[in-house]
């Protein structure tokens, strides 16, 4: 009987020790939250490429400069010189820029056939003729009683860029220079028959180099009225 008791005791002890051993191994193999390696910071780095400055595309200084460039002063001067050269060349033919009608050889009726009826026609006694305005074409033509064109005026927008100093620099000292009613009119000869006149605001203390308002090509002989013993205009 004692043997059986000892035998049972040994078996219980072995069973108990085995159970304790199994439980201990299970607890040892199960990692706790504290034992897990942290990957949160790495995930944040890979998912958020924004650098410290807040740029996602790298250094902003590497971006190309797309700021439009403004025309240089030298380019503007070159353009103005081209306009002045063209004015001089056409004046020798009795014409103004952007017009096919020359003074002396053109008639008002021929112009109206091409450009349409003038917006208005006014008699200007001091200028010795009728002045017909064609606003859409920036042109005004002066004609005598026979409808012969003796003066062509251009109000082309490109002329507004020209200054008094540029005109004098291109053409030299004017043969004619008068100031009247807040305007300055300077004149040059263009060949044997024509005159070239530039009309600007008179220089002031605040603006001593005014821009051109308009210019004209004049055929002085077209203003002569022999019947009235009128020698006509010189300028």
pLDDT higher at 114 or 8: 114
Instruction: Say if 155 falls within a structural domain.
Output: yes
Confidence of residue 62 (pLDDT cuts 50, 70, 90): very low
Instruction: Say if 40 falls within a structural domain.
Output: no
Instruction: Say if 135 falls within a structural domain.
Output: yes
If you count them, how many residues does the chain have?
235
Percent of the chain at pLDDT exceeding 90: 66
Instruction: Say if 1 falls within a structural domain.
Output: no
Confidence of residue 15 (pLDDT cuts 50, 70, 90): low
Instruction: Say if 45 falls within a structural domain.
Output: no
The range of the structural domain enclosing residue 213 comes to 75-223
Instruction: Say if 6 falls within a structural domain.
Output: no
Domain count, the chain: 1
Per-residue model confidence as pLDDT tens digits over 126-161: 999 999 999 999 999 999 999 999 999 999 999 999
Gap between the Cα atoms of 143 and 107, Å rounded: 8
* Range name among 2-6, 167-171, 210-214 with the lowest pLDDT average: 2-6
Gap between the Cα atoms of 41 and 39, Å rounded: 6
Instruction: Say if 186 falls within a structural domain.
Output: yes
The pLDDT of residue 77 is 84
Overall average pLDDT of the 218-223 stretch:
98
Per-residue model confidence as pLDDT tens digits over 169-182: 999 999 999 999 99
Instruction: Say if 198 falls within a structural domain.
Output: yes
Q: Over 60: is that where the pLDDT of 125 sits? A: yes
Per-residue model confidence as pLDDT tens digits over 17-58: 555 444 444 444 444 444 444 433 333 333 333 333 334 344
């Amino acid at each position: 009987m004692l043997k059986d008791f000892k035998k049972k005791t040994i078996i219980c002890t072995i069973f108990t020790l085995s159970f304790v051993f199994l439980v201990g191994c299970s607890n040892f193999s199960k990692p706790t939250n504290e034992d897990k390696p942290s990957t949160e910071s790495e995930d944040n780095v890979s998912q958020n490429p924004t650098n410290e400055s807040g740029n996602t595309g790298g250094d902003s200084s590497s971006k190309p400069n797309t700021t439009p460039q403004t025309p240089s002063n030298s380019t503007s001067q070159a353009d103005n010189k081209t306009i002045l050269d063209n004015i001089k060349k056409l004046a020798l033919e009795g014409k103004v820029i952007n017009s096919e009608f020359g003074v002396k050889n053109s008639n008002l009726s021929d112009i109206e056939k091409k450009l349409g009826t003038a917006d208005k026609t006014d008699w200007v006694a001091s200028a010795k003729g009728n002045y017909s305005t064609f606003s859409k074409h920036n042109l005004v033509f002066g004609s005598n009683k026979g409808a012969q064109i003796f003066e062509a005026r251009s109000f082309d927008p490109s002329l507004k860029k020209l200054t008094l100093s540029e005109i004098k620099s291109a053409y030299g000292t004017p043969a004619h220079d008068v100031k009247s009613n807040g305007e300055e009119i300077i004149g040059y000869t263009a060949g044997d028959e024509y005159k070239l006149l530039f009309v600007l605001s008179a220089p002031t203390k605040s603006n001593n180099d005014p821009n051109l308002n308009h210019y004209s090509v004049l055929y002085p002989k077209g203003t002569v009225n022999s019947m009235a013993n009128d020698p006509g205009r010189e300028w």
